[in-house]
């Protein structure tokens, strides 16, 4: 497991990395970069499927969103499932999904199991 300022990362034996945003996390560009680097490290320096739990997030900047759709992000992540729950995370998730061009499969989920099932249908 790996912990950064706003997120914890752990490798799931089913073949993906689970990234959980801290309560009230305010995600900026540098946090996003750090999150991607951490994901890469936790996955054992290889590309992986990622489940991002952002149900407790408070905000996410434009720079952070752009970092998550960058070429570097596509190098790190093969598919991204995003768990949303609070009305705030729902807004942020929808903004992220609809306002950006994604290079890898990306989808929003209210349910963790459904998210995992979908993730596993994607290549690692």
Element (H, E) at 51: strand 48-53
Among 3, 14, 59, 111, the residue binding another protein under the rule CB under 8 A is: 59
- Comparing CB distances to another protein, the nearer of 80 and 92 is 92
Q: Does 22 bind another protein (CB under 8 A)?
A: no
Among 21, 92, 108, 115, the residue binding another protein under the rule CB under 8 A is: 92
Contacts of 62 (CB under 8 A, 6+ apart): none
The answer to whether the beta carbons of residues 58 and 24 sit under 8 Å apart is yes
Q: Does 30 bind another protein (CB under 8 A)?
A: no
């Amino acid at each position: 497991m790996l912990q950064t300022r706003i997120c914890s990362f752990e490798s799931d034996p089913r073949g993906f990395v689970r990234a959980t945003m801290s309560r009230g996390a305010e995600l900026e560009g540098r946090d996003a970069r750090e999150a991607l680097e951490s994901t890469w490290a936790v996955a054992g320096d290889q590309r992986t499927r990622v489940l991002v739990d952002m149900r407790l997030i408070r905000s996410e900047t434009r720079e952070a969103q752009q970092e998550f759709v960058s070429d570097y992000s596509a190098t790190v992540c093969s598919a991204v499932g995003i768990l949303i729950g609070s009305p705030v995370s729902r807004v942020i998730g929808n903004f992220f999904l609809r306002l950006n061009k994604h290079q890898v499969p990306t989808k929003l989920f209210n349910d963790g199991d459904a998210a995992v099932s979908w993730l596993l249908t994607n290549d690692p």
